[in-house]
Amino acid sequence: MKKLAVLLPILMFAGSAFANISPHWIRNIDIDGDKSPDVVATTNLMDIAFNQKGEVVGWFVKPVKGTSYFKETNGTVNAGALNRAPNLLQVRNQSGNDKIYGKAFAIPLEGEVKAENAVLNPDPGTQAKGESADTLTAVFKYQQGAVTVTKTFTIHARKYTIEAKTTVNGVEKYQMTFEGLQNNATPNVKGIGKQDANVLSSGEVKNVNYVALQGNKQSTQPALIVVPADSTTANATLNPTKVALTDLSGESNLKVYGGFNEAIRLHLEGYLDRPGLFSPSFVLGNLGILVSNFLTWMYGLVGSWGIAIILLTLIIRLAMWPLMQAQYKSMAEMQAIQPLITEINKKYADDAQKRGQATMQLYQEHGVNPFGGCLPMFLPMPILIVLWQVFSKFEFTTGFLWLPDLALPDPYYIMVVLYIGAMFLQTWVSTRKNPEMFRQQLFMFAIFIFLALQFPSGVTLYYTLFTLLGLGQQILINRQVERHMETKKVSKA
């Protein structure tokens, strides 16, 4: 307990790094080092930096939601932490030596640039501190030579997809380039036309359905996906680290995904039906999609994400009730005969062979299988892993009770305390006749606390309720086993 008391404040401090960010704009900060002011949209999911021409010069997708790379104090912004943030638009050449920083939404034109100040909404000067916006918009307008370009961006606080409307006057055709994929020298380059059957990895794509730069299938890998929207038509050119939409004219509308290359996010944002883009794995892909669809359906019925998670927990727990019965029965029987095992250990302390024989005979006399609950004990873990994947990638449109976002850790640690309390009770009930085992498992709480501090609060809510329901099941079984063991004159558990 003393070791746990020392570790708890340290672990809670580590967990405090993950917080809920109020989406907003930041002005006048140089992200790409060209000594000109940029503007940054910051959300829980990513930080996106635009230069004066509306080119994205830094696309920082956050490995952990809610990570803040900016320190804003009295109007002064420190962006030093961005040095450790992964930039989606960082290019590594084929030799793997030099690093080049790419751009997105870049329109190659000739001539001197005259740019107006970006129009941001909500404006940083009027948005109250801590005020949250579901949507951030920006309008960039500049003239280059004889050409006038206007770019309007819409950034949704809960999506990795940017909506971009671009109007170019003064030239008949133009192109737009997207370069870099998080320092990957050989990203998977893809493109397919709307009427094509085969995905291309180089060359020209006619009448684009989508073009993409992707990492591998691991959920930590990035993806940059460009899709013409509405009535926009375009061709494309695919290069090793760059894709370019060509033959654009007048007004163009694009949806551009810059996030993780994983099934749940691509499903939630509507990209999985694109031919050849992504093939989900069975466990963390298709099962995760099934869970997210079920959760969305449940939310449609009850109107609360928290209640939807509670109902999902009840359904999973009831489905596993018969399977967990064997585990809890075995644990209860082992607890019931623990006093007799202790006597055997004392009696044959110096003779391991006789001690083992006497213990096995005890098991046979009372019909106890010490390994009977091993397999069911591991069944909740794959479910927990799938739910962790789903909830950490899911975007809950509302909070629950005191929780502002079920996809982020509880900022007040209340769910962590409830989780620890449930785990403590479960451990005490299952090991109360074996003080040494109880102490050993108690120290292991340090690991569980560390995990709980990083769990999305929706996962902590699920696992706390799951544990409490299991505790009730185990207490019922304990009482049944105790009554049974009384007939065999074994001490109560």
Q: Give 245-265 as a DSSP string.
A: EEEE-SEEEEEEEEEE--HHH
Q: Which of 339, 359, 361 is nearest to 351 (CA)?
A: 359
Confidence at residue 124, expressed as pLDDT on a 0 to 100 scale: 83
pLDDT at 118 over 70: yes
* Confidence bin at 5 (pLDDT 50/70/90): very low
> What whole-number distance in Å separates Cα of residue 50 and Cα of residue 65?
21
- What would the DSSP string read from start to end of 3-70? HHHHHHHHHHHHHTT------EEEEEE-SSSSSS-EEEEE-SSEEEEE-TTS-EEEEEE-SSTT----
Residues facing residue 104 across a β-bridge = 56, 178
Write phi, then psi, for 101 (nearest 5 degrees).
Answer: -100, 120
pLDDT at 414 over 80: yes
Q: Which of 392, 412, 296, 463 is nearest to 66 (CA)?
A: 392
Q: Where are the domains of the chain?
A: 26-279, 299-486
Residues facing residue 226 across a β-bridge = 211, 256
- Of 38 and 473, the one with more pLDDT: 38
- Of 251 and 480, the one with more pLDDT: 251
CA angle at residue 215 from 211 to 220, to 5 degrees? 125
Continuous H helices in 85-125: none
- Of 372 and 268, the one with more pLDDT: 268
Are 175 and 249 in contact, with CB atoms under 8 Å apart?
Answer: no
> What whole-number distance in Å separates Cα of residue 25 and Cα of residue 174?
29
Confidence at residue 101, expressed as pLDDT on a 0 to 100 scale: 74
Are 98 and 90 in contact, with CB atoms under 8 Å apart?
Answer: no
Q: Which of 129, 109, 100 is nearest to 176 (CA)?
A: 109
pLDDT at 11 over 70: no
Region 263-283: mean pLDDT is: 86
* Confidence bin at 102 (pLDDT 50/70/90): confident
pTM score of the predicted model: 0.76
CATH 3.30.70 assigned to 26-279: no
> What whole-number distance in Å separates Cα of residue 220 and Cα of residue 158?
18
